[in-house]
């Protein structure tokens, strides 16, 4: 089995699982309880939270734990809309976003908010001149992903923040789910930052929203203050400790992992050069962990199934997308509907071996000949 869908989910590190289990056994009390066991659990929670904050350049008081990046994005977007609607009802986002960002945006649009989408340049970067044109005095939120989940394009978050800065009532939210643990991320550049540990070898069922102290949010879950007034629920101590462990491991080995995966990415691109029917959608601004391509005239799901026959698992789009629909990020980038219907997303890891890549390319060639040429075993010239 060769797994090449690490952008969707990653296997937890052994040390992460060990941390989760040991803390679950050692601290049995609710961290909000005011007796000794609860105080001890709360102290352990604070320690993990402060470590996460330190690794991301923020404060422990600015960490909100959620059930995942989807909840973090919903809390950020709907929470801002609820608290800042007195200043306006205009929201700006992009077509590169995960559905947990575009979904809340559409929901708010149906509630009377106005939503605009920033154009994407051929490089994959946002058109900052268009962003400047869209920004208004009644704009209350700009939501942009640090790295998009399908093409892997890394946005210049610092420059975007500078464009937004003059608008005092506009909150800047960044979905950093595909960035944290892979590239350096500083929480200082945005008002709200979302991510989830299961993208960097942590556990599912845990998410984080970093919220600057001056930003207000309307809670989406009610029933008690928990660790924060903005998100109710019993604090999941073991999840927090596991998240801290996963982040610490990822950050400590970030440079080595990045260089290794870059080498794998280059090998894949070299292997695809012989196919004239393949369009590489990832650009020079994409991180090496994600390589997106389109296969001319082939539906994504058909090719995906062929690769699965060899025990190879890749994605067509984000795992949260509706099947048999266009890839919105690829369409936003290429303006080519057919290309956006024929995408494969290969996402790599430091766990991917060079032999895995070689085997994938060999199987890919077999699948290409079968699907594109109807089973022909031979071809002439470039495919």
The two three-digit tokens of residue 244, written as one number? 């801290």
Q: Which of 66, 90, 70 is nearest to 80 (CA)?
A: 90
- Are residues 132 and 162 in contact, defined by beta-carbon separation less than 8 angstroms? no
- Are residues 291 and 346 in contact, defined by beta-carbon separation less than 8 angstroms? yes
- Within 10 Å of residue 219's Cβ, how many Cβ atoms? 17
Long-range (24+ apart) CB contacts under 8 A made by 20-25 are 20/203, 20/238, 20/239, 20/241, 20/242, 21/238, 23/237, 23/238, 23/241, 23/242, 24/238
The reply to whether 320 belongs to the active site is: yes
The single residue of 21, 206, 320, 321 carrying the catalytic annotation is: 320
Q: What are phi and psi of 266, to 5 degrees?
A: -65, -40
If you write DSSP's letter for every residue of 226-257 in order, what string do you get? TTSTTS-S---HHHHHHHHHHHHHHHHTHHHH
Q: What are the Cα distances from residue 154, in Å, to 102, 128, 145, 150, 173?
A: 18, 14, 8, 11, 15
Angle at 285 between CA 280 and CA 291, to 5 degrees: 35
- Are residues 55 and 248 in contact, defined by beta-carbon separation less than 8 angstroms? yes
Round to whole Å and give the CA distance between 367 and 314: 13
Q: Is 216 exposed, middle or buried (0-12, 13-18, 19+ CB in 10 A)?
A: middle
Q: Is 9 exposed, middle or buried (0-12, 13-18, 19+ CB in 10 A)?
A: middle
- Residue with structure tokens 């869209």? 134
Round to whole Å and give the CA distance between 117 and 96: 10
Instruction: For residue 266, give the H/E element and its range.
Output: helix 254-272
Question: Which amino acids are annotated catalytic?
Answer: 320
């Amino acid at each position: 089995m060769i797994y090449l869908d690490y952008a969707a989910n990653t296997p937890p590190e052994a040390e992460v699982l060990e941390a989760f289990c040991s803390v679950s056994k050692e601290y049995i009390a609710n961290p909000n309880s005011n007796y000794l066991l609860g105080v001890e659990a709360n102290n352990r929670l604070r320690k993990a939270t402060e470590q996460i904050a330190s690794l991301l350049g923020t404060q422990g008081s600015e960490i909100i734990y959620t059930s995942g990046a989807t909840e973090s994005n919903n809390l950020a977007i709907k929470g801002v809309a609820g608290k800042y609607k007195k200043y306006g009802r205009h929201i700006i986002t992009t077509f590169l976003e995960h559905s947990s960002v575009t979904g809340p945006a559409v929901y708010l649009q149906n509630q009377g908010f106005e939503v605009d989408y920033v154009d994407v340049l051929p490089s994959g970067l946002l058109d900052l001149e268009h962003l400047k044109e869209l920004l208004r005095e009644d704009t209350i939120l700009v939501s942009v992903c640090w790295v998009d989940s399908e093409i892997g394009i890394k946005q210049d978050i610092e420059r975007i923040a500078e464009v937004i800065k003059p608008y005092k009532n506009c909150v800047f939210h960044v979905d950093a789910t595909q960035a944290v643990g892979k590239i350096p991320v500083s929480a200082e550049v945005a008002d709200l930052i979302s991510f989830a540990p299961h993208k960097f070898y942590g556990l599912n069922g845990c998410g984080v929203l970093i919220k600057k102290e001056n930003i207000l949010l309307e809670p989406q879950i009610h029933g008690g203050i928990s660790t924060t007034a903005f998100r109710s629920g019993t604090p999941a101590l073991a999840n927090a400790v596991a998240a801290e462990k996963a982040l610490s491991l990822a950050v400590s080995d970030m440079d080595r992992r990045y260089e290794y995966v870059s080498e794998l990415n280059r090998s894949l691109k070299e292997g695809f050069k012989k196919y004239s029917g393949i369009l590489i959608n990832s650009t020079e601004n994409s991180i090496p962990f994600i390589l997106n391509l389109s296969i001319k005239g082939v539906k994504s799901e058909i090719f995906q199934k062929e690769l699965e026959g060899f025990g190879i698992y890749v994605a067509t789009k984000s795992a949260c997308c509706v099947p048999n629909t266009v890839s919105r990020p690829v369409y936003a980038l290429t303006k080519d509907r057919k290309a956006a219907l024929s995408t494969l997303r290969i996402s790599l890891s430091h766990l991917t071996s060079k032999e895995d890549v070689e085997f994938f390319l060999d199987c890919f060639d077999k699948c290409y000949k079968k699907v594109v040429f109807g089973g022909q075993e031979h071809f002439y010239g470039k495919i």
